[in-house]
Amino acid sequence: MTFWILIRSTGISAYLLLSLSIFIGTLYSLREQIKPVFKIPDLRIIHIYLSTMALGATFLHGGMLLFHREKERLSLQEILVPFTSRYDSFWIGIATIALYFMVLLAITGVMQRKFSIVTWRKIHAASYVAFVLALLHSIAVGTDTWNTWIVVLYATTGFLVGIVYLYRVVMLGRTRKSLAKPEPINHA
Ligand code: HEM
């Protein structure tokens, strides 16, 4: 029972942190465009903290599954090799892929200087794929999916990420003004 509660709470925390991290990260990439409208705090550092915590919560979430009650317990292989789980294999498989995207984003985030800006941005766009996969996984396998608060959480975060993503696509298309240059993680 305790592990089941931990699996659910770490899953919801991971999802919330990931969606906030992508929302704030997208606002940060649009800082040149939104600066004239809003006075913005240091979104970059908030984005880095949120993504690190999202990854940590996802590791805890996946790790707890090793200790679930016997019937639902997953082996390390079922957690790490997509689509090999005994139950909900598709929806758990896409979560494993989301986790790999998150790891890729974290590693390439730290190694940002090694890539050209164009290449790095293309890799970092995987964050939207990770978000969609995590959202689908959460809705499909969650025990709490139809709890009112969780419906509100998924709808609000889905809307917020969708709207900033569209704004970014439209802004870039309309103004042809390039996005501000990303600053490396270890930039003071
Ligand atoms: C290693 C990859 C992952 C595996 C194997 C996995 C597995 C699972 C399983 C088995 C459940 C069902 C728990 C229950 O009985 O309710 C679950 C729920 C959930 N997972 Fe994952 N998950 C993974 C990654 C993720 C990621 C990356 C996120 C979000 C960032 C996430 C968010 C959630 C959420 C929100 C729930 C629903 C909690 C609830 O409503 O009860 N998971 N996951």
Atom number of ligand 1 nearest to Cα 80: 1
Rounded Cα gap, residues 21 and 28, in angstroms: 10
Per-residue pLDDT reduced to its tens digit, 151-175 = 999 999 999 999 999 999 887 766 6
**Lowest-pLDDT choice from 42-46, 49-53, 107-111:** 42-46
pTM of the model: 0.91
Residue scoring higher pLDDT (186 or 73): 73
Please report the pLDDT score of residue 72 as a whole number: 82
Q: What is the CA radius of gyration of the chain?
A: 18
Residue 188 has pLDDT above 60, yes or no: no
Query: Which of 7, 127, 131, 143 best tests ligand 1's pocket when mutated (most atoms within 8 Å of CB)?
Result: 7
Residue 75 near ligand 1, beta carbon < 6 Å: no
Query: Tens of pLDDT along 59-117?
Result: 999 999 999 887 789 999 999 999 999 999 999 999 999 999 999 999 999 999 999 99
Give residue 120 CA to ligand 1 midpoint distance, Å: 28
Q: How confident is the model at residue 186 (pLDDT cuts 50, 70, 90)?
A: low
Instruction: Compute the distance between CA of residue 120 and CA of residue 124 in angstroms, rounded to an integer.
Output: 6
- Residue 96 near ligand 1, beta carbon < 6 Å: yes
**Could you give the CA distance from residue 132 to residue 19 in angstroms, rounded to a whole number?**
10
Q: Which of 69, 141, 154 to mutate to test the pocket of ligand 1 (most atoms within 8 A of CB)?
A: 141
CB 90 within 8 A of CB 137: no
Is residue 145 lining ligand 1, measured as CB closer than 6 Å? yes
Extract the tokens encoding 38.
């809003």
Q: State the distance from the centre of ligand 1 to the C-alpha of 39, rounded, in angstroms.
A: 36
pLDDT confidence of residue 3: 86
Q: Residue 35 has what pLDDT?
A: 72
Helix H or strand E segment including 141: helix 126-141
Q: Over the stretch 19-36, which tens digit does the pLDDT of each residue have? A: 999 999 999 998 888 776
